[in-house]
């Protein structure tokens, strides 16, 4: 059954439009509260939902709206304030809350916002529960009796709890003393927490993108724009750079030579670290966008490899199906189920750094075992509801590209799950050919989109 409102990562949109208006978010909060109450044994007062947010200015508005909606459903609220998404997942689980809600649009600009939901286990909600929330949302809103309305509390030690959990994800004897790190916090949810985590472990941290003003989240900074980080790593003579996205569930790195290290390479290093520590890995999950070089490198380690659809929920599904623990996306959304329940930029970065320190190697050396195939992705904006991928001209262009790659590359077209875009990806051994083919296909997609 197709979901009407939930996407692959919750709900997201431009502030003031669609579901991302205060009145709709209030009713969503109420719907979530009603569904949770129906699943609880005992009184509605036993229900408690934690709410956290990133640094967007609209977070204040939506926080208040959710609080009102949940209270109207008879559910208590614990307000965490600005927190990375994985921190909210962690506290949802450890506080034994009925659910966790994150107010964030991840890597999107400040004028977008969204809602992500976590189960009591700190995992994304399953499809059945999302369908149920959608059904209740479309019903008439009924307010709980006055004596049963929910209360709201603000948690003062949320940051400290999560900081300790991050530090506990690596061995107690690992110190980062001597490491000089430039850290780009994307003016987002990690701006205060991430520098503290790495500093407390002994690293010298030079923080940038750590002055959020509500409008500058993800603006020419963070994991989606690593240019400034590359420059700063070189200027500072740092050992490496770390870049998070706006809500802190993704991470990319920069090595001491100024080369960007993406999620595929980081996942490869984490797999190596687990094998080096004698841990049972079994296999690694990537996505349809994962570089072919990473797949080959993982198999060279003697591990199995599987691809899921793009999106962390699909990575997680494939991990659970295979009973594996590590997987992720090229974008830097990495899941280490042996350390946490969801993608966590800080925890993922710590796994990499712990390996570098333990093995006494640089980030540049650690990634050297993986040779990436040239890969180019072009985002083509959509202008209507028609699907350009159904165009015969687009399909013919793809078929011709696959013939020219002759089995030594891949072509992938897919709609974005969060933005009105078609992503065109071409991968192969010959960079010039890859570029030519990607541009040819993208041009056909653009023409088909305009014609529609």
Catalytic residues, which ones?
106
Q: How far is residue 110's CA from residue 373's CA, in Å, rounded to a whole number?
A: 34
3-class DSSP assignment, residue 220: coil
Q: How far is residue 233's CA from residue 241's CA, in Å, rounded to a whole number?
A: 6
Task: Using only the alpha carbons of the chain, give its radius of gyration.
Answer: 22
Q: How far is residue 1's CA from residue 99's CA, in Å, rounded to a whole number?
A: 23
Burial of 294 (C-beta count, 10 Å sphere; 0-12/13-18/19+): buried
Structure tokens at 365: 């050396």
Q: How far is residue 6's CA from residue 223's CA, in Å, rounded to a whole number?
A: 25
H or E element in which residue 326 lies: strand 326-328
3-class DSSP assignment, residue 216: coil
3-class DSSP assignment, residue 150: coil
Structure tokens at 126: 């399953």
Structure tokens at 57: 């200015």
The Cβ-side half-sphere exposure at 214, using a 13 Å CA radius, reads 5
Distance (Å) of CA 150 to CA 6, 22, 62, 130, 139: 25, 19, 17, 22, 20
φ, ψ of residue 351 to 5 degrees: the values are -65, -40
Other Cβ atoms within 10 Å of 211 Cβ, number: 11
Q: Cβ(301)–Cβ(271) under 8 Å?
A: yes
| Edge-to-edge strand ranges of the sheet holding 304-308 | 304-308, 283-287, 326-328, 334-336
């Amino acid at each position: 059954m197709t979901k009407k409102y939930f996407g692959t990562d919750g709900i997201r949109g431009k502030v003031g439009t669609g579901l991302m208006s205060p009145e709709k978010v209030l009713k969503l909060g109420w719907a979530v509260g009603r569904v949770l109450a129906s699943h609880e044994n005992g009184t509605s007062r036993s229900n408690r939902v934690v709410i956290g947010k990133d640094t967007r200015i609209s977070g204040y508005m939506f926080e208040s709206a959710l609080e009102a909606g949940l209270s109207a459903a008879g559910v208590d609220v614990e307000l965490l304030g600005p927190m990375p998404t994985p921190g909210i997942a962690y506290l949802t689980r450890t506080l034994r809350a009925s659910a966790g809600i994150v107010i964030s649009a991840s890597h999107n600009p400040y004028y977008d916002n969204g809602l992500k939901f976590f189960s009591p286990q700190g995992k994304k909600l399953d499809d059945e529960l999302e369908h149920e929330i959608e059904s209740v949302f479309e019903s008439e809103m009924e307010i709980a009796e006055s004596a049963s309305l929910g209360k709201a509390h603000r948690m003062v030690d949320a940051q400290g709890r999560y900081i300790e959990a991050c530090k506990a994800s690596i061995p107690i004897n690992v110190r980062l003393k001597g490491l000089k790190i430039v850290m780009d916090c994307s003016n987002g949810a990690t701006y205060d927490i991430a520098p503290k985590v790495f500093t407390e472990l002994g690293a010298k941290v030079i923080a940038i993108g750590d002055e959020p003003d509500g409008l500058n989240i993800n603006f020419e900074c963070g994991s989606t724009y690593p240019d400034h980080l590359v420059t700063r790593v070189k200027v500072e003579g740092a050992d490496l750079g770390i870049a998070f996205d706006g809500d802190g569930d993704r991470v990319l790195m920069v090595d001491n030579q100024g080369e960007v290290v993406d999620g595929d390479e980081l996942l490869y290093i984490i797999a190596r670290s687990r094998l080096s520590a004698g841990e049972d890995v079994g296999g690694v999950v990537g996505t349809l966008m994962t570089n072919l070089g990473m797949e080959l490198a993982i198999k060279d380690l003697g591990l199995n490899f599987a691809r899921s659809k793009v999106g962390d929920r699909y990575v997680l599904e494939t991990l659970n199906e295979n009973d594996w623990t590590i997987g992720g996306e090229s974008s830097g959304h990495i899941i280490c189920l042996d350390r946490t329940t969801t993608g966590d930029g800080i925890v993922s970065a710590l796994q990499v750094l712990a390996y570098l320190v333990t093995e006494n190697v640089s980030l540049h050396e650690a990634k050297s075992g993986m040779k990436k195939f040239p890969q180019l992705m072009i985002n083509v904006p959509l202008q209507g509801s028609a699907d350009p991928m159904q165009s015969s001209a687009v399909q013919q262009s793809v078929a011709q590209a696959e013939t020219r790659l002759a089995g030594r590359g891949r072509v992938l077209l897919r709609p974005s799950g969060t933005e009105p875009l078609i992503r065109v990806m071409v991968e192969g051994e010959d960079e010039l050919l890859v570029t030519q083919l990607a541009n040819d296909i993208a041009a056909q997609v653009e023409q088909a989109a305009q014609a529609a």
